[in-house]
Amino acid sequence: MKNQVTSIYKQAERFAEITKKSIISGNIVRAKKCLALAERLFNTGSIETKNAISNVYVFSVSSFMEMRHCNISHLFPQTLKAEYIKQVNASGV
């Protein structure tokens, strides 16, 4: 079971990779579906799930999009966008 995901943080990391691959391939519809699912998990999940989505998923996807100079404002759902803004403000950027 080489590909077995062992923790919620690794799952969030893998989910971020899927989202980023969708963006790279131009499949924005799939990327938006991934972001919407992440938003739903963030809103309804446990504290650990919320932490994983915020600290791993949002950080990974937003960093990737900024490095590629993508406009994230129209892709991120409202709650995830708020988490992204918190991260940016906390980092002092």
| Contact between 60 and 16 (Cβ < 8 Å) | yes
Place of tokens 């992204």: 84
Whole-number Å distance between alpha carbons of 33 and 26: 13
pTM of the model: 0.84
Residue with tokens 């490095």: 67
What DSSP character marks residue 75?
T
CA 93/CA 18 separation, integer angstroms: 27
Q: What confidence tens digit (pLDDT) does each residue in 11-31 have?
A: 999 999 999 999 889 998 999
Helices (H) and strands (E) in the chain, counts: 5, 0
pLDDT attached to residue 1: 39
pLDDT digits (tens, 9 = 90+) for 29-80: 999 999 999 999 999 999 999 999 999 999 999 888 888 877 766 788 999 9
If we measure between CA atoms, which residue out of 4, 16, 92, 23 comes closest to residue 54? Answer: 16
